Every structure is written in structure tokens, then in C-alpha cells.
């Protein structure tokens, strides 16, 4: 279930995705939120330098590993503009983070790429639950997913 507070955090993720796009990166943004609602860390995509592992969800998983105890990580929530790729889902699982909430999901991204005649990425777009076990996942949120779709269309010169 998605709450009003979840929507606020997801909107921040979409705003971060916009910042990424403005910086020449891919439009993805994410937050790591403590059980009390504090935003512990946030990041956006940084692949324009040529390292295509520079995804925000991966960065947040490593931040959590370096700054949080395991019992804190499992209670933390990761919000993200687009569902984790398998690399980031695995990092989330290995680090032992908790709930994931996304604005748009991977199958939507595949559909948007198809609509724009953009080739699929080499890494498959799998649901998070196919990469890791025992994870609570909520999303998508249609109105925010539409904002994310617009960012991807801009990235590919379709708007
Ligand atoms: Zn990723």
C-alpha cells in the first residue's frame, strides 16, 4: 500500500531523476529513508562518465552497508523513480535493506523503449522479486510513472 508520505518521497525521487537528466545522466533517482521518516541518503544516476554501474540504488545500498547496522537496514525503505535493475536488486538483498517503493516498474521501461524504438539494455529488466527473496515491494504510481516516462522521452530526444 502506498501512503501520502510515500508519494512525497517518490516525487523527490522523480525530481532527482530530472536532475540526473539535466546533468547528462539517465533519469533515475532514489532515496534511503529511516523508519522515523528521516531521509538518510539520496542519489541519482551517474553513468555519463562511462561507468554504467553508477546507479542510485546501488550507491544507496553501499551507503547503508557503510553507515547502518544490519538491524537498521532491514527497517529502512528505498524509494526510487524506476524499479531496481537486477544489479541493484542484488545489492539491496546482499546489504539486507527493507521495503522498496517505486514510481514506475521495469516492464514499463521496456515498453517505453519499445515505443521509442530504443534497443533494450544488455542487462535484462527483471522484476525485483526475480532477483531477491523476501522483499516487500510497492508500486507503481501511475501519475508519477507518467512523469518518469516524460523524462525518458526527453533523454531519447522524443520531446
Ligand atoms: Zn541498477
- Residue 137 Cα, ligand 1 centroid: separation in angstroms? 16
Find the 116 Cα to ligand 1 centroid distance in Å: 21
Q: In the numeric block, which cell numbers belong to residue 90?
A: 542484488
Which residues share a beta bridge with 31?
42, 79
Strands (DSSP E) along 66-115, which ranges?
A: 77-82, 100-104
pLDDT for the residue 159:
84
What is the overall mean pLDDT for the chain?
Answer: 97
Give the model's pLDDT for residue 152.
98
Give the start-to-end residue ranges of the domains of the chain: 4-155
**4-22 and 142-155 helices cross at what angle (nearest 10)?**
0
Its pTM stands at 0.97
In this prediction, residues 62-87 reach a mean pLDDT of: 98
The CATH classification of domain 4-155, taken from the options 3.30.1280.10, 3.40.50.920, 3.30.56.10, 3.40.140.10: 3.40.140.10
Q: How far is the CA of 45 from the centre of ligand 1 (A)?
A: 9
DSSP state of 41: E
Amino acid at each position: 500500500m502506498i501512503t501520502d508520505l510515500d508519494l512525497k518521497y517518490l516525487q523527490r525521487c522523480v525530481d532527482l531523476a530530472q536532475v540526473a537528466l539535466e546533468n547528462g545522466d539517465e533519469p533515475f533517482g532514489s532515496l534511503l529513508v529511516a523508519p522515523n521518516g528521516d531521509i538518510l541518503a539520496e542519489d541519482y544516476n551517474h553513468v555519463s562518465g562511462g561507468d554504467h554501474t553508477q546507479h542510485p540504488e546501488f550507491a544507496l545500498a553501499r551507503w547503508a552497508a557503510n553507515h547502518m547496522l544490519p538491524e537498521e537496514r532491514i527497517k529502512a525503505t528505498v524509494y526510487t523513480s524506476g524499479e531496481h535493475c537486477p544489479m541493484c536488486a542484488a545489492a539491496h538483498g546482499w546489504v539486507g535493506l527493507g521495503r522498496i517503493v517505486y514510481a514506475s516498474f521495469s516492464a514499463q521501461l521496456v515498453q517505453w523503449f519499445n515505443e521509442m524504438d530504443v534497443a533494450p539494455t544488455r542487462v535484462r529488466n527483471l522484476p525485483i522479486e526475480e532477483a531477491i527473496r523476501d522483499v516487500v515491494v510497492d508500486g507503481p504510481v501511475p501519475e508519477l510513472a507518467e512523469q518518469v516516462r516524460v523524462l525518458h522521452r526527453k533523454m531519447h530526444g522524443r520531446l
